[in-house]
Chains A and B, each alone.
Chain A
């Protein structure tokens, strides 16, 4: 004769133990696989001014992503995220045209990061920066 109450109770216990075991095994594996937290020196990147010549661009790592500093022909500086807003490729600086081209799907951005043509839905994100004593500090 099967005692249904007892069987249900044991089933619940077994389910509980299995679920606990899954958490005990799953949590370390999840933590092991999760991206490692890198320190980004308080989120600031320091670049000497002379590394960004007039009409040129300087790419660098910023907060775990890629960013770019552009000095326009007029001398104005712009700091932008270099990640294309279409599908996440890194845009390339075209010195002759003074704009950005995303080689993946031909998205084109102005030196200010505004979309000129192609599929990108949004402009490139602008990054805060300050210039002091010949040094550009982004972030």
Chain B
């Protein structure tokens, strides 16, 4: 103890760490009625860290070349000690990241935390959501399996329905007329440099907005009025009499992360191929299209939407309109009420939207 105290004193004399701890951790007060849903962001940060760590480890053995990619992944799975564990953590982790991200968005939606003055939090989060979908899509191609190859063919092909520039965009995205070695090169570059950097930067912006505006008060059991934002000037929403972030809420974060890990590791160890199909274990063959190729579960609703409209462009436009509506939600839903039970129109639309998404996904899965 003496040594730790002396070391802390030494550092504190130079950069004032105790001041930072008092201001940002023990003195950083959160709403007294804060709940476990507020820890979704911490779980996501943890998952992102794990994806980066396992991704760096995979880069040691992975070869981003069409002739060698599948072999290198097989080598990681079969020959490198614990390679299977690192790869499974990365593959399952990417699915979990999308799942937890959806929960995070749902909690923000139902608790009305996206409402003013937090439009920038919502927008940065919404862009993050799209980038996560992008990093999942680009990572999907890298094992160069039949599933990777044909799911990417289908996913990139949908862009071709955009009038005039569609075909050009598809070829630009693929680097060739069809998915092939040039596609692997550009998807690899996007997956390991551009997208992770963009995501890290936006996470920084997202947290910055959170820190500047202050954590929103949950609508359940909230006291009305004392820190209402008027829209005339910047105002930090503080929570006098709230609970400290450290140790109180940090413990909640740790519990949530531990529960997440229990769930995540149970998939990794007991059902690692949950998100894999037979085609994931066969090397890509550009001359052999497998039957019933399907995208990942989180793209199934998009996939089915494209199928049910007679014209692909209409299907794409409907999706674009839905995403634009969701992105601009804080500017459309401008009421001050945040309690979900006091927002019947929102509740009806949200539950209808979720059911539609689930329905389309199931339909897409079985179609």
Contact = CB atoms under 8 A, between A and B. Distances in A.
A29 B81 CA distance: 9
Nearest to B261: A21
A28 interface: yes
A9 interface: no
A42 interface: no
Interface stretch (B82-90, B137-145, B152-160, B359-367): B82-90
A32 B57 contact: yes
A34 B60 CA distance: 11
A6 interface: no
Interface string A26-67: 001101111010000000000000000000000000000000
Contacts of A34: 81
A29 B57 CA distance: 8
Interface of B: 57, 60, 79-83, 85-86
Nearest to B76: A32
Nearest to B58: A32
B362 to A, nearest CB: 37
Contacts of A31: 81-82
A72 B82 CA distance: 48
Contacts of B79: 36
**Most chain B beta-carbon contacts within 10 A, residue among A28, A31, A32, A34:** A32
Contacts of B60: 32-33
Contacts of A29: 57, 82, 86
Chain A interface residue number, banded: under 10
Contacts of A33: 57, 60
Q: Which 4 A-B pairs have the closest CB atoms?
A: A28-B82, A31-B81, A32-B82, A31-B82
A28 B81 CA distance: 7
Given A33-B57, A33-B60, A36-B80, 12 more contacts: A28-B81, A28-B86, A29-B82, A29-B86, A31-B81, A31-B82, A32-B57, A32-B80, A32-B81, A32-B82, A32-B83, A36-B79
A36 B83 CA distance: 12
Contacts of B85: 28
14 contacts: A28-B82, A28-B85, A28-B86, A29-B57, A29-B86, A31-B81, A31-B82, A32-B60, A32-B80, A32-B83, A33-B57, A33-B60, A34-B81, A36-B80
B42 to A, nearest CB: 17
Contacts of A28: 81-82, 85-86
A7 to B, nearest CB: 12
Contacts of B82: 28-29, 31-32
A86 B83 CA distance: 36
A57 to B, nearest CB: 33
A21 to B, nearest CB: 10
A31 B82 CA distance: 7
A31 B57 CA distance: 12
Nearest to B82: A28
A33 to B, nearest CB: 7
Contacts of A32: 57, 60, 80-83, 86
Contacts of B83: 32
A31 to B, nearest CB: 4
A34 B86 CA distance: 14
Interface in A65-90: none
Contacts of A36: 79-80
Nearest to B53: A29
Contacts of B86: 28-29, 32
Nearest to A34: B81
A25 to B, nearest CB: 9
B266 to A, nearest CB: 15
A6 to B, nearest CB: 15
A33 B86 CA distance: 11
A63 to B, nearest CB: 20
A34 B81 CA distance: 9
B139 to A, nearest CB: 19
Contacts of B80: 32, 36
A129 B148 CA distance: 51
A31 B86 CA distance: 11
